[in-house]
Structure 1
């Protein structure tokens, strides 16, 4: 039996993101009412995936940072 693909809707919203105690412009990814990740837009057009207030990994594009968060969410849930 094949399993049906379940479609999910992830929203990307502007947000203030705290990284090591400093506030940056960024984005929050939500799935329903649950926040699944944050991306901070740092200087020099770098985007950092933020977990527990710390920059975990850096990307040169927002799309790659968002893709990383979704990939990690799918692997853990």
Structure 2
């Protein structure tokens, strides 16, 4: 008997935070109430991805950042 795939709701919350003395917009990815990663814009064409407070990777688009966080969550969960 095969398992039925469950739909998982991923939310993106946008907030402003002070990082290194600068006010920045930070996007947080949530699954349920659990935070799985954050995306911080570095300049007009780069985004830093943070998972568990560690800087994991720098990507070119917001979509790439979201895909990276979800991929890492799937591998480690």
Q: TM-score, normalised by structure 2?
A: 0.82
What is the correspondence of 1:22-37 to structure 2 with a 5 Å cutoff? 23=22, 24-37=24-37
Mapped partners of 2:21, 2:55: distance in 1: 11
After superposition, the C-alpha distances for 1:43-65 in whole angstroms (9 at most, x for unaligned) are 13211101344422011100010
Relative distance call for 1:76 and 1:22 in structure 2 (3 A) is farther
Moved over 2 A (4+): 15-19, 21-24, 51-55
For residues 13 and 27 of structure 1, the distance between their equivalents in structure 2, rounded to whole angstroms, comes to 6
Q: 1:22 to 1:37 in 2, by over 3 A?
A: farther
What is aligned with 2:67?
A: 67
What is the alpha-carbon distance in structure 2 between the residues aligned to residue 61 and residue 5 of structure 1? Answer: 28
| Aligned 8 A contact 2:40 2:48 in 1 | yes
Count of residue pairs brought into register by the alignment? 76
- Secondary structure of 1:3's match? coil
Cα shift at 1:3: 1.4
